[in-house]
Copies of this chain bind each other. A is one copy, B any other.
Amino acid sequence: MIRLVEVGPRDGLQNEATTVGVEQKVAFINALAAAGERDIEVGAFVHPKWVPQMAGSEDVIKALPTLDGVRWSALVPNLKGLERALACGIRRIAVFTAASETFNQKNINMSIQASLDGYRPVVHQALQAGLSVRGYVSTVFVCPYEGDVKKERVLEVTQALLDMGVDEVSLGDTIGAAAPNDIENTVGYLLETVPPQRLALHCHDTYGTALANVVAGLNLGIRTFDASAGGLGGCPYAPGASGNLATEDLVYLLTRMGFDTGIDLDRLAQASGVMEAALGRQLPSRQLQRLRQLSRSSCAGSP
């Protein structure tokens, strides 16, 4: 069994030019859960001045039902964010830093160490309040400013997050530049110290390598993968980065490889299709492209 973490409503929509209203978000998230998604990141308690797309996260969370076996989570940057998370009753939060100094500086305007120091009380208080916490590390393989990132640095940051009590660390190929050898090198190195159940892989598909990287992760024993419905989103402060790996594409691959995801691909693509229409732009999910093409198909020639 593979665990998928759906990041479309947060990491996806946060990076779309069009801001989606609370009602549409709630309908989208409910549709994703109805398609079989079990772990869905639904919002972020960041300042709406910086990320206007995430304004109204409280309203989204309050409007979501309690569903058996389904976990909603939200991004929390600091203690103020944690207060908001606790106030609206969400049970899982995520904190985020990077493995590259320059990227972290540009992304959240502080050093990696400062961000880790800031998260320690956040994670502590969240755990005290009975919440669970996920950690994100961005630019695990390649930084758009610094180039290749050292695996030793990735281990330090990952270990620091685990030490403060996050239950898993999602390793982000933020600009989608990694190839399977990068996964083998860096994730293979982490796995010498960290058990595979504590790691997730978060791929972007900028160069089309995302599924190849997932397979490299599978071969190493990773069983948790992030993806974004429809391939929503892109990457903040990462010039030229395109969308997240589309959940549909990941589900197709895993299903074809004989893994059970519990997700209904047709219902999932339908949910993404509604969001695609709302955003008014074609999403990169191959499944959506294929459906669009089927509806107007005719081709000729051989072989």
A221 at the interface (CB under 8 A from B): no
Q: What's the nearest-Cβ distance from chain B to residue A269, in Å?
A: 12
Instruction: State whether the Cβ of A179 lies closer than 8 Å to any Cβ in chain B.
Output: yes
Contact partner of A15 among B138, B253, B286, B299, CB < 8 A?
B299
Given contacts A215-B180, A239-B294, A240-B293, are A253 and B303 in contact (CB under 8 A)? no
Contacting pair A235 B15 (CB below 8 A):
no
C-alpha spacing A152/B143, complex, angstroms: 46
With A181-B256, A215-B216, A239-B297: A207-B290 Cβ-Cβ less than 8 Å:
yes
Asked if A301 and B209 make an inter-chain contact with CB atoms under 8 angstroms apart, the answer reads no
Q: CA separation between A216 and B256, bound complex, in Å?
A: 14
Closest 8 CB pairs of A and B: A179-B256, A14-B301, A96-B303, A212-B212, A208-B286, A208-B249, A236-B301, A211-B212
* Chain A residues in the interface with B (C-beta under 8 A): 11, 14-15, 17, 46, 50-51, 53-54, 75, 96-98, 107-108, 136, 138, 172, 174, 177-182, 205-212, 214-216, 234-242, 246, 249, 252-253, 256-258, 284, 286-287, 289-290, 293-294, 297, 299-303
Given contacts A179-B256, A207-B249, A237-B299, 9 further A-B contacts (CB under 8 A): A11-B303, A14-B301, A15-B301, A177-B256, A180-B257, A206-B286, A211-B212, A236-B299, A238-B299
